[in-house]
């Protein structure tokens, strides 16, 4: 197993163990391949508390003088445009993710016409974006979460609040 898969496996295990909300997990890895900070998505606490943002903030508070250009961020799902921008601002050199946004689109019907590659190409010296790693495992984790919380999401949809783009089971293609 290569180093990227090993790190992603650690991140998946961490996310499964600790996540109390949607299983977005992120970690920041130094040039020696050591995980130096984790973050978990907590969108119920704040819409901006995405895993990547939490990991960046945890890293910044633990290592105030760190050289961000030597760091890699791993995330269980392809970063959204907010997180992609934050990663660019941080100066992190590489992004490694599990589940691609195309899978989320199928699973949740979240329309993302602008994605991570669109954002990072706008900045000088963009971070490198890897091909998905441990994609099947991350997809499975999100699918499990989806079936568990499908009813909650459907109820929200019926009430017309939040997650407005969620497509209900029978409407999915
Ligand atoms: Zn995000």
DSSP 39: E
Separation of CA 86 and ligand 1 centre (Å) = 9
Separation of CA 65 and ligand 1 centre (Å) = 24
Backbone angles phi, psi at 155, to 5 degrees: -65, -40
Whole-number pLDDT of residue 33: 95
Distance of CA 54 to the CA centre of its chain: 11
Separation of CA 60 and ligand 1 centre (Å) = 17
Whole-number pLDDT of residue 167: 46
- CA distances to 29, 46, 70 from 66, rounded to whole Å, are 12, 26, 9
Whole-number pLDDT of residue 108: 80
Q: What percent of the chain has pLDDT over 70?
A: 87
pLDDT in tens, 54-101: 999 999 999 999 999 999 999 999 999 999 999 999 999 999 999 999
- Work out the mean pLDDT of the chain and round it to a whole number: 89
Whole-number pLDDT of residue 160: 67
- What are the structure tokens assigned to 48, written together? 């901006």
Whole-number pLDDT of residue 148: 80
- Greater model confidence, 162 or 19: 19
Whole-number pLDDT of residue 111: 76
Would you say residue 168 has pLDDT above 80?
A: no
With H, G, I as helix, E, B as strand and everything else as coil, classify residue 38: strand
H-state helical runs in 19-115: 51-62, 81-90, 101-108
Separation of CA 81 and ligand 1 centre (Å) = 6
In 10 A of CB 71, how many CB atoms? 23
Task: Choose, from 52, 94, 135, 144, the residue flagged as catalytic.
Answer: 52
Which protein residues have a CB closer than 5 Å to ligand 1 (ion)? 50, 80, 82-83
* Mean pLDDT, residues 29-44: 95
Q: pTM of the prediction?
A: 0.85
Q: Is 52 a residue of the active site?
A: yes
Confidence of residue 24 (pLDDT cuts 50, 70, 90): very high
């Amino acid at each position: 197993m290569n180093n990227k898969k090993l790190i992603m496996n650690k991140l998946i295990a961490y996310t499964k163990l600790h996540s109390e909300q949607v299983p977005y997990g992120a970690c920041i890895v130094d040039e020696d391949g050591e995980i130096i900070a984790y973050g978990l998505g907590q969108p119920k606490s704040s819409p901006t508390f995405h895993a990547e943002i939490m990991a960046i903030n945890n890293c910044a508070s633990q290592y105030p003088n760190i050289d961000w250009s030597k760091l890699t961020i791993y995330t269980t799902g392809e970063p959204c445009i907010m997180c992609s921008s934050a990663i660019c601002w941080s100066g992190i050199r590489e992004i490694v993710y599990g589940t691609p946004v195309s899978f989320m689109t199928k699973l949740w019907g979240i329309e993302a016409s602008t994605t991570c590659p669109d954002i990072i190409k706008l900045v000088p010296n963009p971070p490198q974006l890897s091909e998905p790693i441990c994609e099947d495992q991350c997809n499975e984790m999100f699918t499990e979460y989806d079936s568990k919380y499908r009813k909650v999401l459907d109820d929200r949809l019926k009430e017309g609040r939040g997650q407005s783009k969620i497509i209900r089971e029978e409407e999915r293609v």
